[in-house]
């Protein structure tokens, strides 16, 4: 009996030594950017399951150590993503960290594998894909690939803002330059004391002199002294009494009739013209804005989009921003009262765009679509080549006095002033030599 009891003890000893000699190798890092067949969500769930087995086998039960080991084993790319996730808890919240990472990686499905067996039915996803792949904006492409919440509506809004800012920047940078460089003969560098013509400034307008045409200040009235033929920037007279800031700001705002402010709280004095009529000749189109489908009139004479109060109440998740924009209906003097304005995506059967809408205070007064929005949606196209109708009376006059309207004539009784740069030294150009193979033709040619 003693020998039988000692035998099991001798057999159990090597098993204990084997358990103590087992070592657990670290897990491989998780690569979210790896381009492999399975989806990102599936790969993260598999890696998370392996990590749970890893910490169980390692005997780690402290939540703080489990959280730190999770971020360490996942790799630097996951740690960078985790820093951008809000509300991740404290250092001891292991479950919260695991849930946040799972929520981040789960929505990002790999649709490439799905497309091999079926066609996509999600139209918005197809449009987003086309914008990312074939769009011209690198800024939108990078944000769409980085931010999973950057949906189609956000893409269109961001794209419209980029287009507007780019257009306004080009208008500012492409100011008229009258350097007079066209048809100018190349000359040797001037080493004398004569000043360069590019440094000569016109005393009336403040721009480069000489001008290619008439001086821009000719016929204009100075806002400083009230005298004609010069600008206030180069005025040498006494300053005229300044007008009230309210008047100057209002006049300045009227020069920029189509300036849009995308801020949440806008205040402007912009004046717009739009028409709303009940004639049967106006074209109507069905559109969708803010989840509401309604009918609107296309008016090529309108500069803003207007919807009534009843139509706005049918929309969802649309917030109005205050505006002091004044809009006048055709042939009226009193402005239309607005509840506010908003920027949203407008959809037709063929196209999608982003536009600004002004909500009228009146109920059931009709909806209006401006010319610019209708052109962006492909509802209106202007073809100037079709405006070629001839006036019979004008043709008769041209035929009756054909000698007057042919070739170049001579203007009699008019005096003009030629702007000459007096700092330039006159230079005579030698006569060009006639090529040998055409000398005979030139010699025998008869001048008309």
Q: What is the CATH number of the domain that holds 373?
A: 2.40.70.10
In this structure, the answer to whether residues 305 and 233 fall within a common structural domain is no
Q: Which residues contact 359 (CB under 8 A, 6 or more apart)?
A: 306, 307, 308, 309, 312, 320, 338, 339, 340, 341, 342
If we measure between CA atoms, which residue out of 138, 125, 152, 150 comes closest to residue 346? 152
2 found inside a domain: no
pLDDT at 30: 86
**Separation of alpha carbons 67 and 255, rounded Å:** 61
How many of the other CB atoms lie within 10 Å of CB of 29? 13
End-of-domain residue from the set 359, 377, 395: 377
User: Can you tell me the distance from the alpha carbon of 196 to that of 375, in angstroms, rounded to the nearest whole number?
Assistant: 48
Name the domain boundary from 377, 407, 436. Answer: 377
Residues 6+ apart with CB under 8 A from 292: 311, 314, 315, 316
- 335-336 sheet: strands from edge to edge: 271-274, 326-329, 335-336
Number of domains forming the structure of the chain: 3
Q: What is the pLDDT of residues 172-214, one digit of tens each?
A: 776 544 444 444 444 444 444 444 444 678 888 888 888 777 8
- Secondary structure letter of residue 21 according to DSSP: T
Would residue 194 count as lying in a domain? no
Quote the CA–CA distance of 151 and 290 in Å, as a whole number.
15
How many residues belong to the chain? 448
Residue 191 lies inside a defined structural domain of this protein? no
Confidence of residue 238 (pLDDT cuts 50, 70, 90): low
pLDDT tens for each residue of 395-438? 888 888 877 777 666 777 888 888 888 888 888 888 888 888 88
105, 128, 161 - which closes a domain: 105
How high does pLDDT run on average in the chain? 73
Q: Does 371 lie in the same domain as 308? A: yes
For residue 181, give Cα distances in angstroms to 206, 217, 406: 18, 21, 31
Read off the pTM: 0.31
* Domain co-membership, 218 together with 293: no
Q: Which residue has the tokens 């109440």?
A: 313
Residue 335 forms part of a structural domain: yes
Region 85-107: what's the mean pLDDT?
A: 83
- Tell whether the torsion through CA atoms of 128, 129, 132 and 133 is positive or negative: negative
Helix, coil or strand: residue 359: strand
Domain span holding position 309: 284-377
Find the range with the poorest average confidence among 165-174, 372-381, 382-391, 407-416.
382-391
**6 domain-assigned:** no
279 vs 391: CA distance, rounded Å: 29
Asked if 229 and 297 sit in the same domain, the reply is no
Q: Which two tokens stand for residue 388?
A: 């070629």
Is pLDDT at 10 greater than 60 in this prediction? no
Extract the tokens encoding 342. Answer: 């908003």
- For residues 291 and 354, membership in a common domain is answered with yes
Q: For residue 160, is it within any domain?
A: no
The confidence band for 358, taking pLDDT boundaries of 50, 70 and 90, is very high
Predicted pLDDT of residue 406: 72
Peptide bond into 245 cis (omega under 30): no
Question: Per-residue pLDDT tens for 252-305?
Answer: 433 333 333 333 344 444 444 444 444 444 578 899 988 888 999 888 888 899
Q: Alpha-carbon distance 103 to 148, whole Å?
A: 11
Beta bridge partners of 272: 327
Is the residue at 369 inside a domain? yes
Residues 291 and 370 in one domain: yes
In a domain, 437, yes or no: no
């Amino acid at each position: 009996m003693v020998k039988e009891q000692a035998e099991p003890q001798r057999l159990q000893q090597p098993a204990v030594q084997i358990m103590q000699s087992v070592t657990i190798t670290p897990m491989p890092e998780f690569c979210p950017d790896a381009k492999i067949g399975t989806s990102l969500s599936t790969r993260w769930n598999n890696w998370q399951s392996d990590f749970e087995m890893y910490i169980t086998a390692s005997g780690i039960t402290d939540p703080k150590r489990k959280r730190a080991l999770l971020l360490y084993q996942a790799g630097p790319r996951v740690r960078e993503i985790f820093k951008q996730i809000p509300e991740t808890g404290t250092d001891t919240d292991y479950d919260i960290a695991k849930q946040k990472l799972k929520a981040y990686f789960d929505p990002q499905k790999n649709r490439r594998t799905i497309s091999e067996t079926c066609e996509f039915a999600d139209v918005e996803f197809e449009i987003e894909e086309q914008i990312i792949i074939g769009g011209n904006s690198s800024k939108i492409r990078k944000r769409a690939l980085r931010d999973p919440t950057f949906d189609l509506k956000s893409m269109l809004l961001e794209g419209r803002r980029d287009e507007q800012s780019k257009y306004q920047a080009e208008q500012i940078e492409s100011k008229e330059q009258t350097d007079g460089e066209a048809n100018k003969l190349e000359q040797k560098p001037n080493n004398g004391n004569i000043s360069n013509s590019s440094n000569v400034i016109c005393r009336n307008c403040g721009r480069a002199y000489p001008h290619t045409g008439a001086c821009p200040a000719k016929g204009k009235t100075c806002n400083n002294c009230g005298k004609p033929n010069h600008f206030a920037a180069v005025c040498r007279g006494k300053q005229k009494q300044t007008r009230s800031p309210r008047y100057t700001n209002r006049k300045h705002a009227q020069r920029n009739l189509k300036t849009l402010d995308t801020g949440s709280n806008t205040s402007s004095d912009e004046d717009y013209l739009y028409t709303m009529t009940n004639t049967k000749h106006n074209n109507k189109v069905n559109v969708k804005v803010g989840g509401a489908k309604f009918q609107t009139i296309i008016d090529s004479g309108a500069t803003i989009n207007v919807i009534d109060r009843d139509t706005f109440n049918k929309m969802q998740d649309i917030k109005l921003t205050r505006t002091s924009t004044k809009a006048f209906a055709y042939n009226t003097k009193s402005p239309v009262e607005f509840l506010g304005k908003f920027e949203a995506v407008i959809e037709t059967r063929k196209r999608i765009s982003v536009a600004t809408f002004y909500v009228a205070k009146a109920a059931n007064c009709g909806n209006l679509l401006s010319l610019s929005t209708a052109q962006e949606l492909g509802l209106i196209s202007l073809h100037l080549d079709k405006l070629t109708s001839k006036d019979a009376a004008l043709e008769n006059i041209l035929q009756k006095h054909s000698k007057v309207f042919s070739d170049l004539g001579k203007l009699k009784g008019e005096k003009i002033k030629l702007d000459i740069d007096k700092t330039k030294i006159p230079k005579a150009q030698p006569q060009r030599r006639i090529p040998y193979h055409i000398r005979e033709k030139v010699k025998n040619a008869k001048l008309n």
